[in-house]
Amino acid sequence: MFSFLVSLSCATIISDYCVGDLSQPDGPAGYPCKDPAKVTVDDFVYSGLRVAASSANPFKFGANNATVTQFPGLNGMDISITRADLDVGGVVPLHTHRVAELIIIIQGTVIGGFIDTKNTAYYKTLSKGDIMIFPPTLLHFQINVGSTPVLAYATFASENPGFQAVDLALFRSSLPSELIEKVTLLDDAQINKLKKLLGGTN
């Protein structure tokens, strides 16, 4: 209990920073702090976003993430960032996070959109330099509608924002097709087609 309180206060109140010690278990207050005597400037710099993640998938979309897992300096900071590269025709499929997301378009043209809890859809074509906010937990997406690849960065109000995509939850999980039919009203042929494409079982 004492060490939990120490790590909680360390992560949020009494310290300038709490670089995550990823060799310890993660908890509701984040990771315990790395020994401050061993912290260097390199704990506050991450160069992994210089390159795109692979977009060799059905959505033609690569996400290169700098969350606390890749960049322990984010521990306790309530912020993280992802580099998103969308091929021509690429899509970030309908998905959600635990926290708000702010994107900035660096290159290309994107339709960004979200759907609120009243089922109102908000979507707009975004160009280089535009930013858009996606409220916490609401389903949202991005579509490359231009004739060039898209580079965008998405920042999150958490060092561990989570990611859940509707298509992957349905068609890359082990939820049996009979149950997917019931909870979506989709027909069996469509479900099987998407399970084959995305790797779902049962």
Ligand X SMILES: *[C@@H]1O[C@H](CO)[C@@H](O)[C@H](O)[C@H]1NC(C)=O
Give long-range contacts, CB 8 A cutoff, 24+ apart: 53-60. Answer: 53/83, 53/85, 55/85, 55/86, 55/87, 55/90, 58/197, 58/198, 59/90, 59/91, 59/92, 59/93, 60/86, 60/87, 60/88, 60/89, 60/90, 60/91, 60/144
Q: To the nearest whole angstrom, how small is the minimum distance from the Cβ of residue 52 to ligand X?
A: 9
Helices 188-198 and 177-184 pack at an angle, to 10 degrees, of: 120
* 159 has binding-site annotation: no
CB of 145 to ligand X, least distance (A): 22
Q: Which is nearer to ligand X, 70 or 177 (CB)?
A: 70
Residues lying near ligand X in the complex (CB under 6 A) are found at 53, 63-65, 163
Q: Which residue's CB is nearer to ligand X, number 53 or number 166?
A: 53
Comparing every residue's Cβ against ligand X, the nearest one is 163
Nearest-approach distance from CB 82 to ligand X, in angstroms: 6
Q: Which is nearer to ligand X, 53 or 100 (CB)?
A: 53
Binding residues, by number, are 95, 97, 101, 140
Binding residues for oxalate, by number, are 97, 101
